[in-house]
Chain A
Amino acid sequence: MEALKAGARAPEFELNSTPDQRIKLSEFRGQRVILAFYPADWSPVCGDQLALYNELRDEFAKHRAICIGISVDGAWSHAAFREHRGYKLALLSDFEPKGAVARDYSVYRTREGVSERALFVIDEEGVIRWAYVSPIGINPGADGILKVLEEMDGSRS
């Protein structure tokens, strides 16, 4: 299994962001999306990947990008997790069928039943411009995301 690479069209999806609200990737057409797959809510690691990305929302917005987390947890788990950790970014529930979107992006770990820790930067037209799968157990920083967003800014001017 190899994660989708830059140049591929980002597979469409529609998932719950809260128990009552569903989000389609295509709703973000015209802006950039940072799709951040992570294995599970309630990671014990302080200041983990999502906390950092949450902190950088304004920085991402300067590049017309929005960051969205996605895992196989249910929407109720996401709601509690977001409230507990104070996150403001949306978390999508890839729960039913479990891991279907992760499989579409080729970042599903069948044996563990969770997604890889993987990042995709998707451009305004829905094309993946950067993809990164983190080694197991390592939280990726955001330096790669910022670099590619800056490169995308440069390529538009």
Chain B
Amino acid sequence: MSLTKQIDETDHVLGPADAPVTLVEYGDFQCPHCRAAHFYLKNVLATMGEDMRFVFRHMPLTQVHPMAQAAAEAAEAADAQGKFWPMHDLIYENQDLLSPALLTRLGQRLGLDMQRFTDDVVSHRFLSKVKEDFMGAVRSGAAGTPSFFINGEPYEGGFDDESLIDALRFAAQVRAPHPSRGQHAPRPRAH
């Protein structure tokens, strides 16, 4: 099991392309564990800085999370106007209130062209992208959300910031060993 779809221009990416470590998350906007991971990831990104590249892909479990797919499509519609990450963050920060009306309000808050945004959401313009992400997760062996891959390999540890930072630093050292840095194994899965 490893990441089947390589990172390309269709992905949502934070951080430099040549970072020694890449973290890919398959996430669901309505999953409470993904929401928790989202807040941990803020600290992970701040701590790792330029040593890390972060990629978010969609894995909406639509039967158990009825708003997850609409939220994913709304994030893609915001991306079409250059606002993927602000929309991504706002959805997680307001997950408890997730509804079509909330997505509209978030679009307004981000100053989007609302006619275009609404047309894109209603016409499901980005549904195929969301489904492509989802099947990429399934083909890579993801079993739930959030699912993480570090440098293309599945990460089975906890998704709290400390566990992720340990694992990311370890992966970065493996890829680019430095004589002055000690190596230690990532923590075992904590949940």
Contacts and interface: CB of A to CB of B under 8 A. Distances in A.
B156 to A, nearest CB: 7
Nearest to B141: A141
Contacts of B138: 52, 56, 59, 141-143, 146
A55 interface: yes
Interface stretch (B7-15, B57-65, B93-101): B57-65
Contacts of A48: 143-144
Contacts of B141: 141, 143-144
A144 B142 CA distance: 11
Nearest to B140: A143
Interface of B: 1, 28, 31-34, 59, 61-64, 66, 134-135, 138-145, 156, 189, 191
Interface size class of A (residues with CB under 8 A): 20 to 34
Nearest to B137: A141
Interface in A6-60: 45-49, 51-52, 54-56, 59
10 contacts: A46-B144, A47-B33, A47-B61, A47-B143, A47-B145, A52-B143, A55-B63, A59-B138, A86-B63, A143-B1
A87 B143 contact: no
Interface of A: 45-49, 51-52, 54-56, 59, 85-88, 137-144, 146
- Residue from B32, B64, B138, B141 with most neighbouring chain A CB atoms (10 Å): B64
B191 A146 contact: no
Nearest to B34: A46
Contact of B144 (A47, A85, A86, A143): A47
- Residue from A55, A86, A142, A144 with most neighbouring chain B CB atoms (10 Å): A55
B62 A55 contact: yes
A157 to B, nearest CB: 21
Contacts, number: 69
Given A47-B145, A54-B61, A141-B138, 5 more contacts: A51-B144, A59-B138, A138-B156, A141-B143, A144-B141
A137 B145 contact: no
A128 to B, nearest CB: 21
Contacts of A55: 61-63, 134
Given A86-B63, A87-B63, A49 B143 contact: yes
Contacts of B28: 47
A139 B1 CA distance: 13
A51 B135 CA distance: 14
A54 B33 contact: no
A39 B40 CA distance: 30
A134 to B, nearest CB: 9
A146 B138 CA distance: 9
A45 B191 contact: yes
B63 A46 contact: no
Contact of B63 (A51, A59, A138, A144): A51
- Residue from A47, A55, A88 with most neighbouring chain B CB atoms (10 Å): A47
A155 to B, nearest CB: 20
- Residue from B33, B59, B138 with most neighbouring chain A CB atoms (10 Å): B138
- Residue from A56, A86, A140 with most neighbouring chain B CB atoms (10 Å): A86
Nearest to A147: B139
Given A46-B32, A49-B143, A52-B143, A87 B64 contact: yes
